[in-house]
Structure 1
Amino acid sequence: MFVRDAKARCPHLTVVPYNFDAYGEVADQFYGILHKYCTKVQALSCDEAFLDMTECLHDNPEEVTERMRNEIFGTTKCTASAGIAENRLLARLATRSAKPNGQLFISSEKVDDYLSTLPIKALPGIGYTVSDKLKSKEVEHCGQLRNISKDALHKDFGKKISNMLWNYCRGIDHSVVEAVQETKSVGAEVNWGVRFNENKDADNFLVNLSREVSLRLQGCGLQGRTITLKVKTRRKGAGEPLKFMGCGDCETMSRSTTMTGATDNLVTLQRIARQLFAALHVDVKEVRGVGLKMSKLEHADLGRGAQQGNMLKSWLGSSSEKLKKQCSERTCFLGNSDGILTCQRSCRSHYQ
């Protein structure tokens, strides 16, 4: 339940503030337990991770998963849900089905049955535009999607999205669990609480967002040559989102530019971010999310190298504090009320 709805039902509700120190402590305990059972852990956030359990195949993956979940609860007093399947996609879906505080194993024999009635919008990476277009063709479940040829999907959605749809509705996912991931971009994005009344508000936001990206680059000992600005605007006719101050139903647009030399300079980032934002010609009152990203990364000057080289290794390491808090893609989840694990029988596990 959203806080807005809870307060509407209970006007005298006391809302407890965030406690990030406690979150960090629990995240450390959470990942410590995962690494006791598995050496190949891909962290996605402070409470989400994928585990490649192939090395544990001599044990029953369901029993191993249950032991991990019990230890997580015993140590942190936070429940954890887990999905076990042959790849990351299915493990992630299994985790969702396992909530709250459960675990689900989707064996290869059960994949077709599980996916046949699964709503297409439950697949990761499927947004409003794709799901609405398929719904207009009376295609709402993966079983129905399987009846559409790959050529027809290519025609309607293009090669990238059509290939993803074709594979996902069949439970196909070739991505692997990567304990250490190469950093291809460094950025920051905010999609909650973004509401501007005038251009000055947007400008101040860009200044602060650029500062955050600059600090992250410097913290990793990296500089970038390509800067990309992504802006989400409220879709025409869309109402207020269910989540208070959320982004809701949006359209996404972006602009990027590539410089001749790499930089992490704050003033440069602020100047280019402003230029890119102006080039989008958006009504600032309709903006619901803004992201700034640096790519085509290079190592920073050796003047800062030694210290930041160590920081980069720390940020990339799957067991490091940085990676526990800053990850992308899906693997293992943990929340204050429920966390996830995912296993594959080659074997992948997903925790939240």
Structure 2
Amino acid sequence: MSRLILHVDLDAFFAAIEQRDHPEWQGRPVVVGAQPGQRGVVATCSYEARRFGVHSAMPIAQAVRRLPPEAVYVRPRMAQYAQVSEQIMAVLATLSPQIERVSIDEAYLDISGLTALVGPPQVIGEQVKTGIRQAVGLTASVGIGPNRLIAKLASDARKPDGLTVVLADQVDAFLNPMPFQVLRGIGPKTAPRLGRLGVRTIGDVRRLPLVTLRRHLGARAGTQCYCQARGIADDQIHPERPRKSISKETTFAEDVTDPQMLESTLHWAAQEVSWLARQTGNKGRVVTLKIRFFPFETHTRSRTLTRPTADEQQLFCIARSMLTTETSWHSRPVRLIGLGLSGWPESNRRVQLDLFDAANAQPEPEEPTLTKTLDAIRQRFGAEAIQRGLSTHRHCD
């Protein structure tokens, strides 16, 4: 029996939830992210906004210049989005136990054995879309193929609200006309090398010998490109495992040198990471700062704490300290910045401290009352209802 993998991707997930919850916003450009006049970026946007060239990670000031006056700007409501995501995953679990959630709005399912029970792949895909629509009132794009690569490309083929089925004997015809840049691992450095070989489509890649691809792209990348162009890819689903870290990062549409904008983005990342950590019952000891300079020079810095934390002010202050103490980074154009938290105590239990270590003699502190209050408000009214201002984080001593 041939493998069948289904990929489901919610359409403009955050923005679609906002339009669902505010019917008066339907048909209007909706931007989820920073507010006009503030420093920050677009987290995501509706398809109405995308028609004006707005996209994720675009600076909000640039988005405002492109969008008409009737555009709507809203702060992210992460608690609400996470709740809707759980409802969607519950729908998928009724169809197949083999689920791999790859993000808050995206998952793979192994549906290989369902054709005898449910029907043809097209019927299974329609059942997924209908189940999501009935459960949460949102549309999803679904792709079905013999492996993860084909399923993902199929779900991208007809967004939004699309359904594309590519069977094993249809893979070549499906891939051949596609631009080669859709293949995984083809980036700004790799694409020009293929372009110089006259490559425009995946069909063009297929006509190149393996030895040619390896010579121009390197052994690993060349082999990967050769296989993907022939539809050869991983067909295994890896059920969700306990997450080892939580991170948030932003790729800027235009390189950033403004220290205040970088701090503002770190502030947002610290808020999102700490919120997700607390909602999943995690605290971490390792805080990691990630930064990428033009063109693709990436650095990470980590700091290990004596006690695990999920406090956003502490995360922000530590990340800000790592950013500002690296003097060689100052004034350099930043393409990406992010913050991560990892190093959970084993089984997420309180850590057994050394009785003879004076630094650890005090009991583990309770969550600050202000944090508890803010979380309770966000849980009830949404993450955008209230949050700390950046000025409250400037006192990091």
Bin for the TM-score computed over the shorter chain: 0.5 to 0.7
**Cα shift readout 1:81-133 (whole Å, capped 9, x = no counterpart):** 21111111100011111323221111111111211222111123422221122
Judge which range, 154-163 or 170-179, deviates more: 154-163
Judge which range, 286-295 or 138-147, deviates more: 286-295
- The Cα of 1:142 is off from its aligned counterpart by 1.7
- 8 Å CA contact retained: 1:81, 1:99: yes
The equivalent residue for 1:105 is 165
With the length of structure 2 as denominator, give the TM-score of the two structures.
Answer: 0.59
The equivalent residue for 1:162 is 222
**Whole-angstrom CA distance in 1 between matches of 2:308 and 2:83:** 34
1:31 is paired with a residue whose SS is: helix
The equivalent residue for 2:131 is 71
Amino acid in the other structure paired with 2:195: K
1:177-188 equivalent positions in 2, closer than 5 A: 177-188=237-248
Task: List runs of 5+ in structure 1 lacking aligned partners.
Answer: 236-250, 306-352
Equivalent residue for 1:42, pick from 79, 88, 100: 100
1:56 is paired with a residue whose SS is: coil
**Whole-angstrom CA distance in 1 between matches of 2:214 and 2:327:** 29
- The Cα of 1:171 is off from its aligned counterpart by 0.9
1:94-133 equivalent positions in 2, closer than 5 A: 94-133=154-193
1:133 is paired with a residue whose SS is: helix
- 8 Å CA contact retained: 1:73, 1:79: yes
Amino acid in the other structure paired with 1:70: T
The equivalent residue for 2:298 is 253
- The Cα of 1:270 is off from its aligned counterpart by 5.3
- 8 Å CA contact retained: 1:191, 1:288: yes
Amino acid in the other structure paired with 1:35: A
1:2 aligns with 2:59: no
Q: 1:300 to 1:82 in 2, by over 3 A?
A: closer
**Whole-angstrom CA distance in 2 between matches of 1:79 and 1:205:** 30
Amino acid in the other structure paired with 2:175: L
Amino acid in the other structure paired with 1:157: L
Amino acid in the other structure paired with 2:186: I
The equivalent residue for 1:171 is 231
* Identity value in percent: 22
**Whole-angstrom CA distance in 2 between matches of 1:280 and 1:136:** 39
Judge which range, 257-266 or 111-120, deviates more: 257-266
**Whole-angstrom CA distance in 2 between matches of 1:184 and 1:29:** 23
- What is the RMSD computed on CA atoms of the aligned residues? 3.9
Q: 1:132 to 1:278 in 2, by over 3 A?
A: farther
- 8 Å CA contact retained: 1:146, 1:166: yes
Task: List runs of 5+ in structure 2 lacking aligned partners.
Answer: 1-48, 55-63, 353-397
Q: Bigger relative contact order, structure 1 or 2, given CA contacts below 8 A and separation 6+?
A: 1
Number of equivalenced pairs? 289
- The Cα of 1:50 is off from its aligned counterpart by 0.9
- 8 Å CA contact retained: 2:52, 2:67: no
- The Cα of 1:145 is off from its aligned counterpart by 1.6
1:32 aligns with 2:81: no
The equivalent residue for 2:360 is none
Structure with higher Rg: it is 2
Equivalent residue for 2:339, pick from 292, 301, 315: 292
